[in-house]
Amino acid sequence: MESTNEFLSEMYGAHPRHYVAVDCVIFGYNNGELKLLLYPRSFEPSKGNWSLPGGFVQNHESSDQAAIRILKKTTGLDNIFMEQVAAFAEPDREKAARVISLAYYALVRLDQYDENLLKEYGATWYSLTDMPDLIFDHNEMVAKALAKLQYTAGYQLVGSELLPELFTLTQLRRLYEAIFQRELDPGNFRKKILSLGILKRSNRKDSTESKKGAYYYCYHQEGIQEKEIGRIIKV
Amino acid sequence: MESTNEFLSEMYGAHPRHYVAVDCVIFGYNNGELKLLLYPRSFEPSKGNWSLPGGFVQNHESSDQAAIRILKKTTGLDNIFMEQVAAFAEPDREKAARVISLAYYALVRLDQYDENLLKEYGATWYSLTDMPDLIFDHNEMVAKALAKLQYTAGYQLVGSELLPELFTLTQLRRLYEAIFQRELDPGNFRKKILSLGILKRSNRKDSTESKKGAYYYCYHQEGIQEKEIGRIIKV
DNA sequence: ACAAAAGTGTTGTATTTACACCCATGA
DNA sequence: TCATGGGTGTAAATACAACACTTTTGT
Rounded to a whole number of angstroms, the distance from the CA of B129 to the nearest CA of chain A is 23
For strand C, the positions having any atom within 7 A of a protein Cβ are: 3-10, 16-20, 23-26
A108 in the same domain as A44: yes
Shared domain check, B173 and B113:
no
- Residue that finishes a domain, picked among B155, B171, B188: B155
Kindly state whether residues B147 and B179 are assigned to the same domain: no
Dist CA B176 CA A141 (whole Å)? 30
The pLDDT value recorded for residue A78 is: 87
Nearest chain A Cα distance for residue B167, angstroms: 30
CATH number at residue A216: 1.10.10.10
Residue B232 falls within a domain, yes or no?
no
Amino acid (1-letter code) at residue B117: L
| Exposure string over B11-30, b if 16+ CB within 10 A, otherwise e | bbeebebbbbbbbbbbbbbb
Query: Is residue A232 assigned to a domain?
Result: no
Same domain, residue pair B39 and B110: yes
Q: Which of A225, A197, A200 lies closest to A215, judged by CA?
A: A200
Estimate the crossing angle of helix B169-180 against helix B186-195, to 10 degrees. 100
Last residue of a domain, one of A111, A138, A155: A155
Q: CA nearest A29: which of A149, A187, A152?
A: A149
Q: Looking at the 3D structure of chain B, how many domains does it have? A: 2
Looking at the structure, tell me whether residues B196 and B211 fall in a common domain.
Answer: yes
Give the span between the Cα atoms of A60 and B154, in whole angstroms: 38
Q: Are residues A86 and A128 in the same domain?
A: yes
The answer to whether the Cβ–Cβ distance between A89 and B20 falls below 8 Å is: yes
Of A33, A94, A120, A228, the catalytic one is: A120
The enclosing H or E element of B113 equals none
Confidence (pLDDT) at B120: 80
Residue A226 has pLDDT above 80, yes or no: no
Q: Is residue A117 part of a domain?
A: yes
Name the closest residue (CA) to the C1' of nucleotide C20. B187
What length does chain A have?
A: 235
What per-residue confidence (pLDDT) applies to B235? 63
**Whether residues A60 and A109 fall in one domain:** yes
Distance (Å, whole) CA B45 – CA A3: 15
Is B193 among the domain residues?
yes
Q: Which residue has the higher pLDDT, A41 or B126?
A: B126
- A60 in a structural domain: yes
- B144 in the same domain as B73: yes
pLDDT tens by residue, A53-78: 999 999 999 999 999 999 998 888 88
A182 and A67 in a common domain:
no
Bridge-partner residues for B18, per DSSP? A18
Q: Is residue B1 part of a domain?
A: no
Contact (Cβ atoms closer than 8 angstroms) between residue B132 and residue B145: no
- Report chain B residues whose CB lies below 8 A from the CB of A3: 96-97
In this structure, what DSSP letter does residue B133 have? P
Neighbours of A58 (CB within 10 A): 15
pLDDT, tens only, B99-122: 999 999 999 988 877 777 777 888
Residue B27 pairs with which residues in a beta bridge?
B36, B107
Indicate yes or no: CB of A43 within 8 angstroms of CB of B7: yes
Q: Which residue is nearest to nucleotide C3 (CA to C1')?
A: A211
Exposure of A222 by Cβ count < 10 A (0-12 exposed, 13-18 middle, 19+ buried)? exposed
pLDDT exceeds cutoff 70 at B174: yes
Residue in chain B nearest A6 by alpha carbon: B96
- For residue B5, what pLDDT is reported? 40
- The integer distance in angstroms from the CA atom of A190 to the C1' atom of C7 is 9
Identify the CATH number of the domain in which residue A42 sits.
3.90.79.10
Question: A12–B86: do the CB atoms touch at under 8 Å?
Answer: no
Which runs of consecutive H residues, i.e. helices, occur in chain B? 6-11, 63-75, 115-121, 138-155, 169-180, 186-195
Cβ atoms of B126 and B38 within 8 Å: the answer is: yes
What span, in angstroms and rounded, lies between the C-alpha atoms of B35 and B131?
9
**Predicted pLDDT at B9:** 45
Q: Which of A19, A62, A91 sits opposite B61 (nearest CB)?
A: A91
Whether residues B74 and B188 share a domain: the answer is no
pLDDT bin (cut points 50, 70, 90) of residue B21 is very high
Contact A199, A217 (CB under 8 A): yes
Residue B231 is assigned to a structural domain of this protein:
no
Query: What is the reported pLDDT for B229?
Result: 60
pLDDT at A4: 37
Answer yes or no: is pLDDT of A2 > 90: no
Report the gap between the CA of A85 and the closest CA in chain B (Å): 8
pLDDT at res. B26: 96
Biggest CA–CA distance in chain A, Å, is 75
d(CA B134, CA A137): 34
Residue A82 contacts residue A75 (beta carbons within 8 Å) = no
Omega cis (within 30) before B45: yes
Task: Judge if B84 and B124 occupy the same domain.
Answer: yes
Domain that holds residue B196: 159-226
One domain for residues B125 and B215: no
Q: How far apart are CA B134 and CA A156, in angstroms?
A: 30
Instruction: Choose one of A155, A176, A202: the last residue of a domain.
Output: A155
**pLDDT at res. A25:** 98
A45 prior amide bond cis, ω within 30? yes
Residues B131/B36, Cβ–Cβ less than 8 Å: yes
Q: State the SS3 of B3-21.
A: CCCHHHHHHCCCCCCEEEE
Res. B222: pLDDT tops 90: no
**Is A2 a domain residue?**
no
